[in-house]
Amino acid sequence: MRKVALWGNELYTGKRSYPFVDKRKLWFLVAGVLLIASVLIPAVKGGFNLGIEFRGGSEFTISDVQDTEVAVGEEAVSSVVNAEGLRVTAITADTVRVQTDRMTDDETLAVASALAEGYGVSDEQVTSTFIGPTWGQDVSRQALIGLVVFVVLVAVLMAFYFRTWKMSLAAIVGLAVVVVVTAGVYAASGFEVTPSAIIGFLTILSYALYDTVVVFDKIRENTEDYLEQQRRTFGDLVNLAINQTLVRSINTSIVAILPIGSILFIGAFLLGAGTLRDLALALFVGVIVGTLATLFIQAPLFAHFRLRDQDVKEHDALILEQRKGEPGA
């Protein structure tokens, strides 16, 4: 623990430093590769694994079962029809959900009876419903509208708060990376994209933005009197701010990931709470990517924008020239 505290103090004072800004082109290249992969993966796999809410179909819910074995449901449905898109999920310790493409009324009755027999429950404990794709389309449209409004408000708010559009642009680029890479992980893992996943996507944007604002606040504090000092270049000051907030970013991420990881791995995989997986995976990946995006993309990208400004170029050149005359330079 003492070593960790010492490590944090050295980061804050600048005695120890990691080159987030100096290596920014490498981070941008890695981000570009991840973005391309995140776009290509769903394209190669033929799209995302959409939930029944988005593609439409029949859904059965079997309650009060003693055994939530997935194979029982699959065998029961297959004994009646050759159902396309069959998915059987244990959503709680005593409830099973069965989803298929749309069935006729006769097929629905026959499958419900087979499921009741397979899981050893009465017919009244098996409910069925048909979900049309229109509902999912409405959810997608509302989510897209919410995303656009969120991004516009964030861009305007950050531009006013930090009094520079360059921080706002860097933040928006980072948020785009978070969303696209998280979506790529979803496509690669084959997890269903459900309304819960959409909620998770929108939630991680808020978390990623919160982390970004904290780091940007430190950058603004460090660079406020940049032109009045002769010690550090603009890149040095931004890099110092990232290192000074590094411990806080790591601690905050760990605190956020622990409960989400518990839901994802224990609640969803071990206990079979299937409905939690969609939300938990989006949050789990989003928190990690959001933290990394702040450190490796957003803050270095803002420095990259400012390093092109004439006043920064001239002042940095003056500082670098003075360093040549220092002992040991």
Whether residue 248 is found in the same domain as residue 142: yes
Least confident residue range of 34-43, 166-175, 178-187, 260-269: 260-269
pLDDT band at 73 (very low <50, low <70, confident <90, very high): confident
What local confidence, expressed as pLDDT, does residue 279 receive?
78
End-of-domain residue from the set 131, 160, 189: 131
Last residue of a domain, one of 131, 152, 176: 131
Among 131, 148, 173, residue at a domain's last position: 131
Residue from 261, 254, 288, 253 nearest 277 by CA: 261
Asked, for residue 139, whether it belongs to a domain, the answer is: yes
**Does a structural domain hold residue 3?**
no
244-248 LR contacts (CB < 8 Å, sep 24+): 244/11, 244/12, 244/218, 245/214, 245/215, 245/218, 246/11, 246/18, 246/295, 247/7, 247/8, 247/11, 247/12, 248/214
Instruction: Tell me: do 308 and 177 sit in the same domain.
Output: yes
Distances (CA, A) of 265 to 92, 193, 198, 244: 15, 18, 20, 32
Q: Are residues 305 and 166 in the same domain?
A: yes
Amino acid at 31: A
On whether residue 81 sits in a domain, the answer given is yes
Whether 64 and 32 share a structural domain: no
**Residue 273 pLDDT > 70:** no
How much is the pLDDT for 271?
60
| Cα torsion angle, 229, 231, 237, 241, sign | negative
Same domain, 157 and 272: yes
The reply to whether 304 falls in a domain is yes
> Is residue 1 situated within a structural domain?
no
Confirm whether 4 is domain-assigned. no
Q: Is residue 5 part of a domain?
A: no
pLDDT at 298: 94
**Do 155 and 37 share a structural domain?**
yes
Q: Which amino acid, one-letter code, is at 221? A: E
Q: Is 185 found in the same domain as 115?
A: no
What was the pLDDT predicted at 328?
A: 56
On whether both 259 and 175 belong to a single domain, the answer is: yes
Q: Which tokens belong to 185?
A: 């992980």
pLDDT tens track for 88-118: 877 777 888 888 888 888 888 888 888 889 8
Query: What is the pLDDT, as a whole number, of residue 168?
Result: 92
Residue 274 pLDDT more than 70?
A: no
What pLDDT score does 1 carry? 66
**Averaged pLDDT, 233-254:** 92
Residue 321 sits in a domain of what CATH number? 1.20.1640.10
Whether 191 and 92 map to the same domain: the answer is no
**Average pLDDT for residues 41-54, to the nearest whole number?**
83
- Report how far residue 329's alpha carbon sits from residue 324's, in angstroms, rounded to the nearest whole number: 5
Residue 6 lies in a domain: no
Number of domains in the chain: 2
Going by the DSSP 8-state scheme, the letter that residue 47 receives in this structure is S
Q: Are 131 and 56 in contact (CB under 8 A)?
A: yes
Residues 81 and 44 in one domain: no
| Phi and psi at residue 164, to the nearest 5° | -160, 130
The reported pTM is 0.81
The arithmetic mean of pLDDT across residues 250-260, rounded, is 87
Within this chain, do residues 173 and 311 fall inside the same structural domain, yes or no? yes
Higher-confidence residue of 223 and 271: namely 223
pLDDT tens-digit readout, 121-141: 888 889 888 877 676 677 778
Domain extent at residue 188: 11-50+135-325
pLDDT at 211: 85
- Report, as an integer, the average pLDDT of 230-259: 91
How much is the mean pLDDT over the chain? 85
**pLDDT computed for residue 307 by the predictor:** 93
Give the sign of the dihedral formed by CA 55, CA 90, CA 187, CA 139.
Answer: positive
pLDDT at 327 over 70: no
Assess whether 80 and 151 both reside in one domain. Answer: no
- CATH classification of the domain holding 113: 3.30.70
pLDDT of residue 34: 95
